[in-house]
Amino acid sequence: MRKVFIQTYGCQMNEYDTQQMLQVLATKGFERAESPDKAHLIVINSCSVREKSENKALSQLGRFAALKKQDPSKVLAFGGCVGQTEGSKLRSRYPFLDFVFGTNNYRDLPEMISEYENQWPSAEEEDVLLPRSRPEAQAQAFITITNGCDKFCSYCIVPFTRGREYSRTPEDILKEAAALTQKGVQEIMLLGQNVNSYWGKNKQGAFTSLYDLMVLFQEESEKSLKGLKRLRYTTSHPRDFDENLARAFSELPVLCEYLHLPFQSGSDSVLRKMRRFYTADTYLKKIEMVKRYRPDIALSTDIIVGFPGETRQDFEDTLRVIKEVEFDNIYAFKYSARPYTRSEAWVDDVSFDEKADRIQELIQFQRTFGAKKYKEDIGNMVEIMLEGPSKTNAEFWTGRTRKNRVVHLPTDAQFKVGELRYTKIFDATHSWLSGELIPSGIVPLQGARRSA
């Protein structure tokens, strides 16, 4: 059997693309290899959003090159965001690469690999339509609803790696969702660089917003999407986050009460330079609005530290927003200049050490708020989706609540990945919960807080 190993970097969009590549390659007889040394074809699906992510993919390429040296019949390909913009440069810099591709042409993989056919076991030996060549049925799945971005934030390479914003049709999305729920998927994450600006045209020519699309998901969860229990989406831009989307959290039971809303900086002058088109105050007003509709919503965000010209005062404005919102989690990144962006030309004047110090300060500062939010669950009965044995301690399994909080609980021989169970939470840190299992069949009392 032909085997492929794909090493994925970056966001969920890249993970989704990897799944799509595996499906495309399955039509050519490829099955997933557990490790790169067992693969005939090795693919890197790269990310270029920050300098560090790009460097990670490139150093991995060096390690794969060593494998190829030992076994020259292995085919080595480089795809994804770095491949999209730097394709030809990569080929001349790394001559051992067999081929390079981008985010918009992975569907052509069958043609790209055709010249290596004779290096691999023949595909005809296997019936490629055997179910085992398809991805395993899983309880959680992603669906891309938009691709690309038209926002052109001054620091961001995404509009160049993913191109102009494009929305899939609602019919297409619902069809993919129905196929997934029929395979046992209970949780769907709608993906896009900015899903809030989703604007899909249906067959009749009418436009569908993200809110309209989620209403369709809710309605269909009793029909063509039977079995769908949880719906999420990411990622959002504060500018496009409107009242309908806030109301959806109180109106649509299938929509999990969790929102990732990146604010990047709490300083209005930095936000202006970032071309984000909102202020700290308008961001806070949107948070207030969503909390009005759903007071127990869990929130997370992205922050860039050390943007060109960021002063101590600007950084303190960011701390102020963190204090006001009380996020569950924050994802903080040191600014790095990226090719093609506007800010690439600006002096990267906050030193690396200063950025590192600010990140540390921010993480410390956040801990108090994270712990406060997670501790709110102590004593509650919460629904979790089981995700598998804990990586560090075989006596524990992990599950995830609707609020996206990780729960550790003692292993039970009956556990199955993807199962929805109830736990009682008895302890919490700033980033995870401890729970004990409530025997199946016992449904939380009316009035008990159903969600976490």
Please report, as ranges, the residues that interact with ligand 5AD according to CB under 6 A.
49-50, 155-156, 262, 264, 302, 304, 333, 335-336, 338
Looking only at the bridges linking them, the beta strands covering 140-144 and 187-191 are: parallel
SS3 40: coil
Closest CA to 314 of 280, 363, 266, 371: 266
Which residues fall within 8 angstroms of residue 1, CB to CB, at 6 or more apart?
29, 31, 121, 125, 126
The minimum distance between CB 347 and ligand 5AD, in angstroms, equals 14
CB-wise, 98 or 314, nearer to ligand 5AD? 314
Using CB distances below 5 to 8 A depending on partner kind, what does residue 237 bind out of ligand SF4, ligand 5AD, none?
ligand SF4
Which of ligand 5AD, ligand SF4, none has residue 152 at its interface (CB below 5 to 8 Å by kind)? Answer: ligand SF4
Binds 374, which of ligand 5AD, ligand SF4, none (CB < 5 to 8 A, cut-off by type)?
none
- The angle subtended at Cα 290 by Cα 284 and Cα 296, nearest 5°, is 110
Residues of this chain that interact with ligand SF4 (CB under 6 A) are 149, 151-153, 156, 158-159, 193-194, 237
* Min CB(265)–ligand SF4 separation in Å: 12
Residue 354 touches which member of ligand 5AD, ligand SF4, none, C-beta under 5-8 Å by kind: none
Distance CA 379, CA 423 (A): 10
Residue 261 contact partner, candidates ligand 5AD, ligand SF4, none, CB within 5 to 8 A by sort of partner:
none
DSSP 442: P
Residue 242 in tokens: 């409107």
Cα dihedral 273/278/284/287 (nearest 10) = -120
CA distance 338 to 156: 7
Query: Is the distance from CB of 431 to CB of 406 less than 8 angstroms?
Result: yes
* Nearest distance from C-beta of residue 364 to ligand 5AD, angstroms: 19
CB of 22 to ligand SF4, least distance (A): 25
Cβ distance to ligand 5AD smaller for residue 170 or 238: 238
Q: Min. distance of Cβ 302 from ligand 5AD in angstroms?
A: 3
Alpha helices in 94-205 (DSSP H): 109-112, 158-161, 170-182
- Report the residue number, 45 or 264, with the smaller CB distance to ligand 5AD: 264
Q: Do 235 and 260 meet the contact criterion of CB atoms below 8 Å apart?
A: yes
Q: How far apart are CA 104 and CA 220, in angstroms?
A: 30
Q: Considering the complex, what minimum distance in angstroms separates the CB of residue 365 from ligand SF4?
A: 23
- Partner touching 210 among ligand SF4, ligand 5AD, none, CB below 5 to 8 Å by kind: none
36 is in the binding site of which of ligand SF4, ligand 5AD, none (Cβ under 5 to 8 A by kind)? none
Q: Which is nearer to ligand 5AD, 11 or 21 (CB)?
A: 11
The least distance separating ligand 5AD from the CB of residue 300, rounded to whole angstroms, comes to 11
- For 286, the 3-state DSSP assignment is helix
Residue number, 302 or 357, with CB nearest to ligand 5AD: 302
Q: How many CB atoms lie within 10 A of CB 205?
A: 6
In the complex, which residue's CB is closest to ligand 5AD?
Answer: 302
For the record, the structure tokens of 54 come out as 């790009």
